[in-house]
Structure 1
Amino acid sequence: MGHPVTVTLRYGWTTGACATAATKAAYTALLTGAFPDPVEIVLPKGQRPAFALAVEYLSDGSATVGIVKDAGDDPDVTHGALIRATVTLARPGAGVVFRAGPGVGTITKPGLPLPVGEPAINPVPRQMMRDAVAEVATQHGGTGDVIVEISVDGGEELAARTWNPRLGILGGLSILGTTGIVVPYSCAAWIDSIRRGIDVARAAGRQHVAGCTGSTSERVAAELYGLPEDALLDMGDFAGAVLKYLRRHPVPRLTIAGGIGKLAKLADGHLDLHSGRSQVDLRSLAALARSSGGTGELAERVVASNTALEALQHCEAAGIPLGDAVAAGARKTALSVLREAPVTVDVVVIDRAGRVVGRTTPS
Structure 2
Amino acid sequence: MEAAIEPESKNLRRGWTTGTCAAAASKAACLALLSGRFPAAVEVTLPGGQRPGFALAMEDKGEGFATAGIVKDAGDDPDVTHGALIMSTVRRAAPGSGIVFKAGRGVGTVTRPGLPLPPGEPSINPVPRKMIGQAVVEAVAECDGYESDFEVEISVADGERIAEKTLNGRLGIVGGISILGTTGIVIPFSCSAWIHSIWRGIDVARAAGLTHIAGSTGNTSEKAVEAHHGLPEVALIEMGDFVGGMLKYVRDHPVPKVTIAGGVAKMTKLAQGMLDVHSKRGLADLEALAKLAAEAGADGELVAKIAGANIVSHAFQLAGEANLLLGDRIAALAWQTAAKVLSHPQIALEILVFDREGRLIGRTGFTPSNHFEPSPASATS
**TM-score, normalisation: structure 2:** 0.92
Q: Does 2:38 align with 1:35? A: yes
Residue 103 of structure 2 aligns with which residue?
100
Task: From 242, 254, 261, give the equivalent of 1:257.
Answer: 261
Shift of 1:272: 0.7
Q: Does 2:331 align with 1:327? A: yes
Shift of 1:139: 2.7
Q: Does 2:171 align with 1:172? A: no
Unpaired runs of at least 5, structure 1: 1-5
Unpaired runs of at least 5, structure 2: 1-8, 368-381
Contact 1:247 1:341 in 2 (8 A): no
Deviations 1:108-129 (A, max 9, x none): 0001111110000001111111
Contact 1:134 1:144 in 2 (8 A): yes
Q: Does 2:210 align with 1:206? A: yes
Q: Does 2:9 align with 1:9? A: no
Residue 245 of structure 1 aligns with which residue?
249
Q: Does 2:276 align with 1:272? A: yes
Task: From 122, 125, 131, give the equivalent of 1:122.
Answer: 125
Residue 63 of structure 1 aligns with which residue?
66
Residue 167 of structure 2 aligns with which residue?
163
Task: From 270, 291, 295, give the equivalent of 2:295.
Answer: 291
Contact 1:238 1:272 in 2 (8 A): yes
Q: Alignment identity in percent?
A: 58
- Structure 1 Cα separation of the partners of residues 285 and 345 of structure 2: 29
Once structures 1 and 2 are overlaid, which stretch shifts more, 108-117 or 311-320? 311-320
- Structure 2 Cα separation of the partners of residues 27 and 182 of structure 1: 25
Residue 361 of structure 2 aligns with which residue?
357
Shift of 1:144: 2.1
Residue 3 of structure 1 aligns with which residue?
none
Contact 1:272 1:278 in 2 (8 A): no
Residue 300 of structure 1 aligns with which residue?
304
- Structure 1 Cα separation of the partners of residues 340 and 135 of structure 2: 47
Shift of 1:342: 2.1
Once structures 1 and 2 are overlaid, which stretch shifts more, 97-106 or 316-325? 316-325
Contact 1:248 1:341 in 2 (8 A): no
Shift in CA distance, 121/7, structure 1 to aligned 2, threshold 3 Å: closer
Please show how residues 300-319 of structure 1 align to structure 2 within 5 Å: 300-319=304-323
- Structure 2 Cα separation of the partners of residues 272 and 72 of structure 1: 25
- Structure 2 Cα separation of the partners of residues 93 and 339 of structure 1: 50
- Structure 1 Cα separation of the partners of residues 350 and 365 of structure 2: 5
Deviations 1:139-172 (A, max 9, x none): 3225121110000111111111111111111111
How many positions carry a matched residue from both structures? 358
Deviations 1:244-264 (A, max 9, x none): 111111111111111100100
Residue 375 of structure 2 aligns with which residue?
none
- Structure 2 Cα separation of the partners of residues 361 and 7 of structure 1: 43
Deviations 1:203-236 (A, max 9, x none): 1111110010111111111111111111100010
Paired residue secondary structure (2:196): helix
Which of structure 1's runs of 4+ aligned residues deviate more than 3 A?
none
Q: Aligned AA for 2:142?
A: Q
Shift of 1:341: 4.9
Cα RMSD (Å): 1.1
Residue 72 of structure 1 aligns with which residue?
75
Q: Does 2:362 align with 1:340? A: no
Shift of 1:7: 6.0
Shift of 1:323: 1.0
Shift of 1:237: 0.4
